[in-house]
Amino acid sequence: MTAAINNGPTKFIIVRHGETIANRDHILQGWMESPLTENGIQQAKRVAMYLKNATFSVAYTSDLSRAVNTIQEILKFHPDIPLHLEPALREWNLGILQGQYNDVLWEKYPDMMCAFRNEHCSPDIPGGEKRSEFQQRITDIFRTLAERHPGETVLICTHGGALQRIFRMVTGLLDINNVLPASTNTSVSEIQYLHDKHKWQLLCWNKADHLTGLKLNELFTA
**DSSP classification of residue 65:** H
d(CA 159, CA 116): 13
d(CA 206, CA 47): 12
> Is 65 exposed, middle or buried, given 0-12, 13-18 or 19+ CB atoms closer than 10 A?
middle
Catalytic choice (86, 91, 119, 129): 91
- Strand partners for 60: 84, 156
d(CA 74, CA 77): 6
Catalytic choice (17, 78, 149, 159): 17
Q: Whose CA is closest to 189, among 209, 163, 162, 169?
A: 163
Q: If residue 120 lies in a helix (H) or strand (E), which one and from where to where?
A: none
Three-class SS of residue 200? strand
Q: If residue 157 lies in a helix (H) or strand (E), which one and from where to where?
A: strand 153-158
Other Cβ atoms within 10 Å of 172 Cβ, number: 9
Look up 17 and say whether it is catalytic.
yes
Catalytic residues: 17, 91
